[in-house]
Amino acid sequence: MRIKYTILVVFFVTLVIIEKENKILSRVSDKLIVKQTPQTPLQPSAFVNILLKYNATFTSLGKDFMLMKRRLEDHTVVRDRTRRTKKHILLLATTRTGSSFVGEFFNQQGENMFYLFEPLWHVEKMLTLDTGGTNATAAAKAYREVLQQLFLCDFSLLESFIEPLPVDHITTALFRRESSSSLCEESVCSPFIKGVFERYHCRTRRCGPLNLTMASKSCQQKDHKVIKSVRVRQLENLRSLAEDPRLDMKFIQLVRDPRAVLASRMIAFANKYKNWKEWATGGRIPIDDDEVRKLKGNCDNIRLSAEVGLKQPPWLRGRYMLVRYEDIARFPMRKATEMYKFSGIPFTSQVKSWILRNTHASKEAGGVYSTQKNSSEQVEKWRFNLPFKIAQVVQRVCGPTLKLFGYKFVSSEKMLKDKSISLIEDRRFNIF
């Protein structure tokens, strides 16, 4: 009788120990977990192993032990999968901030990356056509929902915004398809017909129309997804993405000196910036003009998003990184390393080679949308294209934005043109 009682006590004590181990494992740090591998599953304690030796004698007790052992091993597998979770990165920017160039840092990562270039272009275009202008609230909701589906490799909602509407999930109208290497891979490359699909060439091969079903399948096979967009106005509107348990969501916000951005837009979008070009050549700049108010609105949106991100609220903790274009242009490899470390995505030799080749070009190739640049020269170039009085207006309406990002004000034409005076303060925005 005493023997049976002893066995019973041992049994319950063992169950308590195993349950405690299970709870401890659920809270164990990543540093301990990283020691385990799929080939070396986490083992129960030595005490449990001794008891398991008596499995033949105490069959019922042994079955319970084996069940506990499997629970521990299954828990290890789940934690191991979590460590290797798929990454989802949204590169946020505005036009003429170098986002296409920085996007290539991820586009060039390799076979395990699914990169999309400006898919929200279709959403903005459709909303503008439907309403005669873009309603900010409606646009924010549409952008968020489309992004969420795309990160989950679902193209169905995006299809509804593509014009003309895809037929059987096949389209010839996806914006800048050739800028997404993942949409030009052999697995998603439909037959090319000479004389019919010549304008749908990809950079690496000739491809016909894009089959979005095939693109979705390809996306599902990749571990990492990165989307580049210049259309999201407020980071706060994307909170549901950060809180979606299906996504390991992170945001990289790319910013640039507003004076440099305006100088670049005046060249790239000359027709839309006629007023600014006229003001540059003469005449007073009306501070209450719609174009000036628009500039202020853009600066405010960028600043407000950055302020939210830099405050690191609980839903954004560890999920936000601010990067200045000027820092990337001056130290491309260093900043790329930081971005990859933040994202948790392997920094491949393929990316490093691309950066080395494309940040030391003797001259820009491909015009204003080129991703091939002598990056260090780009930092100062705008200072010789923008009149001082235009710079003054930008400083007046975008002052808080300039201060937040560490851009120095200029007080004279001479200071603006003097390259020996840096307009970029040394700042560290992110602590990982």
Terminal-to-terminal C-alpha distance of the chain = 61
Pairing of strands 87-92, 224-229: parallel
Category of 255 on φ-ψ map: left (φ > 0), alpha (ψ -120 to 50) or beta: beta
Tell me the per-residue pLDDT of 375-415, one tens digit each, with 9 for 90 and over: 566 788 899 999 999 999 999 999 999 999 999 999 999 99
How many CB atoms are located within 10 Å of the residue 415 CB?
15
How much is the pLDDT for 203?
A: 78
Tell me the per-residue pLDDT of 218-233, one tens digit each, with 9 for 90 and over: 999 999 999 999 999 9
pTM, rounded to two decimals: 0.78
CA distance linking residue 123 with residue 69, whole number of Å: 51
Cβ partners under 8 Å of residue 161, min gap 6: 122, 123, 125, 126, 142, 146
Cβ partners under 8 Å of residue 425, min gap 6: 406, 407, 408
Q: Above 60 in pLDDT, residue 214?
A: yes
Residue 25 burial (CB < 10 Å; 0-12/13-18/19+)?
Answer: middle
Pairing of strands 170-171, 210-211: antiparallel
CA distance linking residue 235 with residue 76, whole number of Å: 35
CA distance linking residue 150 with residue 411, whole number of Å: 46
Tell me the per-residue pLDDT of 23-74, one tens digit each, with 9 for 90 and over: 433 433 333 233 332 333 334 444 334 334 434 444 444 555 455 555 544 4
CA distances from 232 to 94, 115, 139, 142, 265 (A): 8, 17, 9, 10, 18
Q: How many CA atoms lie within 13 A of 168 on its CB side?
A: 1
Q: Once rounded to an integer, what is the mean pLDDT over residues 248-265?
A: 97
Most distant pair of Cα atoms in the chain: their distance: 106
* pLDDT bracket for residue 426 (50, 70, 90): very high
CA distance linking residue 312 with residue 319, whole number of Å: 8
Sign of CA dihedral 432, 101, 305, 225: negative
Tell me the per-residue pLDDT of 98-125, one tens digit each, with 9 for 90 and over: 999 999 999 999 889 999 999 999 999 9
* pLDDT bracket for residue 432 (50, 70, 90): low
How many CB atoms are located within 10 Å of the residue 428 CB?
6
Residue position matching structure tokens 């800048």: 176
Beta bridge partners of 224: 87, 113
Tell me the per-residue pLDDT of 121-173, one tens digit each, with 9 for 90 and over: 999 999 987 655 668 899 999 999 999 999 999 999 999 999 999 999 999 99
CA distance linking residue 23 with residue 72, whole number of Å: 10
Instruction: Enumerate the H helices of 92-211 as residue ranges.
Output: 99-107, 120-131, 136-151, 156-159
Tell me the per-residue pLDDT of 48-57, one tens digit each, with 9 for 90 and over: 343 344 344 4
